[in-house]
Chain A
Amino acid sequence: MFNFKRTASIIALASVALIAGCSDDDDNNTPEMMDMDYRYQVTVSNLTHAQPLSPIAAILHEDGMLWQIGQPASAALEQQAESGDNSQLLAGYPYSASGSGVVMPGVDGVVEVSIKNNANALLTVSSMLVNTNDAFVGLNAIALADLMVGESMTMMGHVYDAGTEANNELANSIPGPAAGGAGFDATRDDVNFVAMHPGVVSQDDGLASSVLTQAHRFDNPSVKFTIVRMQ
């Protein structure tokens, strides 16, 4: 026990020395701090068979979540999840970026996003599965503070349902190439909360009125996210 106490005192002494060192640095007359950019590359790999992904929204923010299981989707998220249009979602966040286009099945979509002077930003990423009513994939407020320059994180993504449009799989309500219907409809005719998606049924599996075929079915995980800190 004596030995342990001694170790503890050494640690305590070391801490004092460390604090002293810090305050010395602070006393120096250093020139004004330059803006520090934190830049991240986000890759979304589309693992589905026939579900193109709408242009990726990548957002760096300080706190909060852009959606929560069991809570209603925001109007901006509804817009993206039903039509693929990410402009409303991105408009609310200064440190955000859009992917350049649709990410086809088997393809990697890449987008870079950066924030100034915030090492503790959260990353939210979202994209619609366009051959669905309101399915989307996303990363929900991932903490980046521990990611050093050059390091990467990889996560598999499950499919969410925005809960804003019933999964009727009708041609006129699915915007993707399988249907070419209208995307966004402000009417909320579904459960009105975000949940995990139950999957599409398709005309080949018992939903006679569906415009979708067996090819449009998907399972989890549907995407792979890779985040690399570039700067």
Chain B
Amino acid sequence: MKKKILFSSLIAALSLNVQAADLDISITNLTQGIYFTPIIASAHSADAHLFQVGQTASTELQAMAEGGDISGLQSVATAMSANSLSNPAGGLLAPGQMASGMLMTDSGNVSLSLAAMMLPTNDGFIGLDNWTIPTEAGTYTVYINAYDAGTEANDEIRGGGAPGTAGMPVPPPLENLIGKNGTGVTSAEENMMVHIHRGNLGDDDMMAGKSDVSNTVQRWLNPVAKLTVTVK
């Protein structure tokens, strides 16, 4: 009996130690034609979230999803005492490319969340909500789906990235990759909660049509990203 108690307290001590974890994180853009804006990955407490499916996007999530600005989410993460890996790609993560970084987590920050806007979209983002970080050392793979923040109509035409500004932001590499003069796919956003993105529609006319997105290049199927976490 005494032995049993000692053994359990030993396990408890071990788990406490590994809760403060040393992680290697890499994110691969699995798509053929979609860019990711700066990525934020945060380790936080089990009850915290950067976003939740079925809930209204926070203004900080909206700023990330519509314009790629992660400063708001970074502040939210800091306020919840999270440990964050910010912008590991140093800008856009191009199709097929991988970005890596290290993340040291404080005790109690046992869940991982991640977000980055997808371009060209209106408010599409890659997202991971509250993934429990394994306590056992090893390498773990998580496939990431595309979400829609529900904050902007998916008109799929050139516009701006400021929250509330219609249309898609068009930073330099996208300038020559997307079309012009689209009349707009839709002006309504019917589901205003965070939801799984229905995908880009696009069209086959770079100079006209409804959409400025190319339907053979800038569509996607899930999963759109691969997260690899090595627990050391």
Q: Interface code B191-226, partner A: CB below 8 Å = 1, 0 otherwise?
A: 000000001011110000000000111111111101
Interface hits, A184-199 → B, CB 8 Å: 191, 193-199
Cβ of A198 and Cβ of B32 under 8 Å apart?
A: yes
B28 within 8 Å of A (CB atoms)? yes
Q: Interface code A1-15, partner B: CB below 8 Å = 1, 0 otherwise?
A: 101100100000000
Task: Determine the distance from Cα of A191 to Cα of B29 in the docked complex, in whole angstroms.
Answer: 14
* Known A-B contacts A199-B221, A206-B203; A70 and B97 likewise in contact (beta carbons under 8 Å): yes
Interface contact tally, CB-CB below 8 A: 85
Interface residues of A (CB under 8 A from B): 1, 3-4, 7, 69-71, 158-159, 161, 163, 166-169, 191, 193-199, 201, 205-209, 219-220
Mostly, the A contact residues are loop
Mostly, the B contact residues are loop
CB distance from A28 to the nearest CB of B (A): 37
Return chain A residues, CB-CB under 8 Å to B201: 205-206
CB<8 Å pairs between A and B, sample of 29: A3-B2, A3-B3, A4-B6, A7-B3, A69-B28, A69-B226, A70-B28, A70-B96, A158-B223, A191-B95, A191-B96, A195-B30, A196-B32, A196-B220, A196-B221, A198-B31, A198-B218, A199-B219, A199-B221, A201-B204, A201-B215, A201-B219, A205-B201, A205-B215, A206-B203, A207-B204, A207-B216, A220-B221, A220-B222
B33 within 8 Å of A (CB atoms)? yes
Closest 7 CB pairs of A and B: A70-B96, A195-B32, A198-B219, A196-B30, A193-B96, A3-B3, A167-B216
* Known A-B contacts A70-B96, A206-B201; A166 and B216 likewise in contact (beta carbons under 8 Å): yes
Chain B: residues with Cβ within 8 Å of the partner, total of 31
Cβ of B221 and Cβ of A209 under 8 Å apart?
A: no
Interface hits, B22-38 → A, CB 8 Å: 28-33
Cβ of B95 and Cβ of A195 under 8 Å apart?
A: yes
